[in-house]
A and B are shown apart, each in its own frame.
Chain A
Amino acid sequence: MAERVVIAAETTWSRRRRRLTWGRVARGSVPYWLILPVLGAIGAILGYPLYRLFRLAFQHYGLEELIRHSGQPVGLHNFGHVLHDQIFWHTLVRTVIFTVANVGLTMGIGTLIALLLVRVSTVVRVLLTAGLVLVWSMPVVVAVQVWGWMTNYQNGVVNYILTELHFGDYFQHNWYGSTFSQLAIVTTLIVWGALPFVAITVFAALAQVPADLVEAAQIDGAPPWRVFLDVTVPIIRPVLLILTSLSIVWDFGVFVQPYLLIGQTHITPGNYLMGIYLFEKGYFDNDYGQGAAISILMLLIVATLSIFYVRKMVRIGDVD
């Protein structure tokens, strides 16, 4: 009798527990159902192509193969070919130098503008910010066309202004005559476009620096640059690091600005940047296998460069 009661009690208890568990499982599965559509979409539109990319990199895949939808396996041939290609290494070095110059200028000038914004009166600050936001909002392709017009060799306004300001005779100066000059013009375009984001973000970070800390340092007689380096910079450092790593990733993979501004006719292996090299090799020469090998190398480099940013953002996302 007593035994039965115990058994009965146990059964109801275990049944209830099971029901609870099922309920918990059902509730626990909710987030998975919610992320499923995005996961499915990303898997289909990005995951599968990336899988194809890895297969392509080990195949010979040209126009013929694109039509037949199948490539011939060639092992590591594509990678070997790329890594023995002088153009690849020259392009890599050129892109690294280009990235360092662009990121350095963007961060340096951007921080200076942010410091300026802190110092000026409210009216000037509002005007400056409005200007920055306007520049920020310009589509890249539009900015490229405006640059093309301003620097055109016949009657570009840049040549006129430089001549008028007595920087020398820039009458009909051709800015697209040498690789250095071409990339320098592209740099001005990229830095111009990137400055608003950097300046406004650093400005927001500067607003978080406690005023009494700065004052205390000033009272102790520290010169302004020491106050900046020893008080301000450590506090805004996380923001500076995030902006720098974002800029590195963006500038390393840049495509639209150099491609359109230098123009297809002027693009030669002598002025390739990584993005363009990839485009010319894979898309223009219809050698998708080799293009895929270069893509993988480039994605690996960018992935390494962005580890810092991703880790930082994941930590933020994981906390809240």
Chain B
Amino acid sequence: MVFPVFWMISSAFKPTDQINSFTPTWFSRHPTVSHFTTAVHTPYFWTDVKNTLIIVSVTVTVSIALAFLAAVALAKYRFTGRKLFIVLVIGIQMLPGAGLIIPLYVTLASYHLVNTLTGVIVTYMTIVLPFSVWTLRGFILGIPKELEEAAMVDGSTRLGAFVRILLPLVAPGLVATSVFAFIQAWNEYLYARIILASQGKQTITVWLSYFLGTSRSTDWGALMAGSTLTAIPAVVFFLIVQRRIAFGLTAGAVRG
């Protein structure tokens, strides 16, 4: 199972003659970082990293702020139309990205947002918002109602109890959801590929996808170094939050 990951890292550090050899070298005795240097100096690497970071941070900040409010509504209130809202939040997550590219592209084009980072940010919110609402709702539900009620008995208003009791307790959940949203946006490829057409205005995944090219003399070492660099932020963050988020998709399924 982990062989492809091992092979990626191992190849990234291998001298080119060992990469091109017909007999693979499992562990190179002369590891080199030259492939990383090549990858980093490939045109637009740093610009695309910067673009990705801008897109991801704006997407995550805005989405989490909006999603948190809706999550509070779902977790703390019963209201007419609540079920419909849940259907919307869950249903949107099921829509295939490929099925949405044409309407999104045409709409963005009419607002002159094609080939802009704003266009991508707006599009990414379709992915991140529903997911964040659902996950944050779970975190808020995880906080015992009694804590809030106790504060209200002690004379706090509902808002006061919310700010002083609920908010600090839900903070780890907010961080975890933000990190997971970061990973989703960092890894996204399809929308970025379609909306950002010009070089130097792309994201890291698009940068990586153009690395392979069609020529026969692909620089596999540099490609694997680039892949490793692209994977590192996503992998590190995923390992941190995996435990908290992983079961969100099926949470409660065993009970139900």
- Cβ of B98 under 8 Å from chain A: yes
A147 to B209, CA, bound (A): 13
How distant is B7 from chain A, measured CB to nearest CB, in Å?
Answer: 6
> How many residues of chain B are within 8 Å of chain A by beta carbon?
94
Known: A66-B109, A137-B234, A314-B86. A38 touches B133 (CB 8 A): yes
**Which of B42-50, B167-175, B182-190 forms part of the interface with chain A?**
B182-190
Q: Is the CB of B77 within 8 A of A142?
A: no
- A117: min CB distance to chain B, Å: 12
Q: Roughly how many angstroms separate A318 CA and B95 CA in the complex, as a whole number? A: 21
Q: Say what secondary structure dominates the interface of chain A.
A: helix
A5-13, A50-58, A175-183, A221-229 - interface stretch: A50-58
Encode B72-94 as 1/0 by CB contact (under 8 A) with A.
11111101001101111011101
B21 within 8 A of A: yes
B20 part of interface (Cβ distance < 8 Å): yes
Contact with B along A184-208 (1 / 0, CB 8 A): 0000000010010100110011001
Q: Is the CB of B256 within 8 A of A41?
A: no
Q: How far is the CA of A138 from the CA of B88 in the complex (A)?
A: 29
A137 touches B242 (CB 8 A): yes
Contact B97 A45 (CB under 8 A): no
Instruction: Give the residue of B70, B94, B230 whose beta carbon is less than 8 angstroms from that of A303.
Output: B94
Q: How many residues of A contact B (CB 8 A)?
A: 96
Q: Is the C-beta of B122 less than 8 angstroms from some C-beta in chain A? A: yes
| B251 lies within 8 A of A316 (CB) | yes
Contact in complex: B79, A28 (CB < 8 Å) = yes
Q: Is the CB of A255 within 8 A of B98?
A: yes
**In the complex, A238 has a CB within 8 A of chain B:** yes
* A46, A133, A147, A318 pick with most chain B CB within 10 angstroms: A46
B101: A residues at CB distance < 8 A:
278-279, 282-283
Q: Are A299 and B1 interface neighbours, CB within 8 A?
A: no
Please determine whether B11 and A133 come into contact, CB atoms closer than 8 angstroms. Answer: no
A34 within 8 A of B: yes
- Chain A residues, Cβ within 8 Å of B133: 38
Question: Given the complex, which residues of A lie within 8 Å of B122, measured CB to CB?
Answer: 45
Residue of B nearest to A196 (CB): B1
Q: Which residues on B sit within 8 Å (CB–CB) of A69?
A: 109-110
What residues on A are CB-neighbors of B69 within 8 Å? 34-35, 37-38
- Contact in complex: A135, B5 (CB < 8 Å): yes
Residue pair A37, B231 in contact (C-beta under 8 Å): no
Check if B22 sits within 8 Å of A155, measured CB to CB. Answer: yes
Q: Is B8 within 8 A of A131, CB to CB?
A: no
A136 sits at the interface (CB 8 A):
yes
Q: How many whole Å from B149's CB to the nearest CB in chain A?
A: 17
The 8 Å CB contact of B4, one of A133, A146, A152, is A146
| Chain B residues near A (Cβ < 8 Å) | 1-2, 4-5, 7-8, 11, 20-24, 66-67, 69-70, 72-77, 79, 82-83, 85-88, 90-92, 94-107, 109-110, 122-123, 125-126, 129-130, 133-134, 137, 141, 183, 186-187, 189-190, 194, 205, 208-209, 211-212, 214, 216, 218, 220, 223-224, 226-227, 230-231, 234-235, 238-239, 242, 246-247, 249-256
Per CB-CB distance, the 8 closest pairs between chain A and chain B, nearest first, are A253-B96, A137-B238, A275-B98, A34-B73, A49-B103, A53-B103, A31-B77, A31-B73
Residues on A lying within 8 angstroms of B by beta carbon are 28, 30-32, 34-35, 37-39, 41-42, 45-46, 48-50, 52-53, 56, 61, 66, 69, 131-150, 152, 154-155, 157, 160, 192, 195, 197, 200-201, 204-205, 208, 236, 238-239, 242-243, 246, 249, 252-253, 255-256, 260, 263, 265, 274-276, 278-279, 282-283, 288, 291-292, 295, 298-299, 302-303, 306, 309-310, 312-320
Given A252-B96, A309-B90, 19 further pairs, Cβ under 8 A: A31-B77, A38-B69, A41-B125, A49-B107, A69-B110, A139-B230, A141-B187, A141-B230, A142-B230, A145-B212, A146-B5, A155-B21, A195-B1, A253-B98, A256-B190, A295-B102, A303-B91, A310-B94, A316-B252
